[in-house]
Structure 1
C-alpha cells in the first residue's frame, strides 16, 4: 500500500468515526448482525445467572462428609459465573443494548436448567451437566461470531476456558464423592 493510499484510508477512518457517533463502540465497520448478537449475549447472560443461582443454592444446601470442600467449590464457581454475567452485561451495554436481568424470563432464556439436586452427588452431576451445556453453547456462539466481532469472540473464548476448567473440576469431584 502506498503512502498516499494509507493517508487516504486514515482520512476515511476519521470521517467514518464522526458518523453515528451516538453508537459508541459500534462503528460502521461492525460486521456482526447486532440484534442477533445482542439476543445471544442476553441468552448467555441468562445462562450465567441461572448457574449463579444453582451454585449458590448448592453451596448452602450441600450436606455430607465431603460437603465442606464441595460447597466451597460451588461458591467459587458461583462467583466466577457472576463475573461472567457482569462481563456479558457490560458487553451488551457497550454494543448499545440492554442487559436483560428479568427474573420473569430468566429460566426460559437460559440454556441450562435450574435443578436443585437432593444429594451431594446429584448436585455435582447437575452442575457438571450445566457446564457441559454452557461449553457447547459458547462454542456455537464463538463459531457464529467468527471474525465479525473480535471483542465479543475474545470475551466468549475467555469465558469458555473457565467453563471447561469448571467441568474438569466437577468431573474430578464426581469421581471422588461416593453416592453416584
Structure 2
C-alpha cells in the first residue's frame, strides 16, 4: 500500500501543454470555427445524437403546451402552470442544443415531418389530468436516461457538449421530481 510519505518521495509528471500541437490545431481548417482537429472522428456522431435530443425537446415542448392548454379539474391551474414552466424550459434546452449543433458545424434538424420519429419521447393527447402528469413523467424519465447515455458516450470526446448535457440532465431530473409529486393529487 502506498502512503502519503511514499507519494511525496516520488517525482511527479508535470502537466505541460504541447504548444506545437496547439498552434497546428489553431491554424488548420479555419472555416471550422470552434471545431478543432481534437474533436476527431466523433463530431458527426455527436451532431446526430444532438439532433435526436433536439427532436425530443421539441416534442416535449409540444406535449407540455398541449397539456397546459387542455388541463382541467380541481388541481389543474397549479399543474397547468407547471406544464407551461416545463414547456418553456424544454424550449430553452432545444435552443441550447441547436446552438451547439451549429457550433459543431452541423445543421439542427427542425423538420416537422420527421420530428416524432426522431424523438426519444412520445407526444401525448391525454385528456385526464393524472394521465397528463404520468405521460410527462414517463417522457422526463426517457430524457433522463437518454441524456445519461449520451453523457457516457461523449465522455471526454467533447467536454463542452458533455457539460451542456449535464446541465440539461439536472433540469430534467428536477422536472421528474416535480411531476412525481403531482401524481395522486
Question: Is residue 139 of structure 2 the alignment partner of residue 130 of structure 1?
Answer: yes
Which whole-Å CA distance do the structure 2 matches of 1:163 and 1:32 have between them? 29
Shift of 1:105: 0.4
| Of 157, 161, 170, the match for 2:179 | 170
Does the CA-based 8 Å contact 1:31-1:149 persist in structure 2? no
Match of 1:72 in 2: 81
> What RMSD, in angstroms, separates the aligned Cα atoms of the two structures?
1.4
TM superposition score normalised by structure 1: 0.92
Match of 1:23 in 2: 32
Shift of 1:32: 5.4
Match of 1:114 in 2: 123
Match of 2:97 in 1: 88
Match of 2:6 in 1: none
Per the alignment, in what secondary structure is the counterpart of residue 74 of structure 1? helix
**TM-superposition CA deviations, 1:103-123 (whole Å, max 9, x none):** 000000000010111100000
Which whole-Å CA distance do the structure 1 matches of 2:90 and 2:121 have between them? 13
Which whole-Å CA distance do the structure 2 matches of 1:151 and 1:12 have between them? 20
For residues 24-39 of structure 1, the aligned pairs below 5 Å read: 24-31=33-40, 33-39=42-48
Match of 1:141 in 2: 150
Question: Is residue 51 of structure 2 the alignment partner of residue 54 of structure 1?
Answer: no
- Which consecutive unaligned segments of at least 5 residues does structure 1 have? none
- Which consecutive unaligned segments of at least 5 residues does structure 2 have? 1-12
Q: Between Structure 1 and Structure 2, whose CA radius of gyration is higher?
A: 2
Question: Is residue 165 of structure 2 the alignment partner of residue 151 of structure 1?
Answer: no
Match of 1:63 in 2: 72
Are residues 12 and 147 of structure 1, via their aligned partners in 2, closer, same or farther at CA, if it must alter by over 3 Å?
A: closer
Runs of 4+ in 1 over 4 A off after TM superposition: none
Which whole-Å CA distance do the structure 2 matches of 1:146 and 1:62 have between them? 40
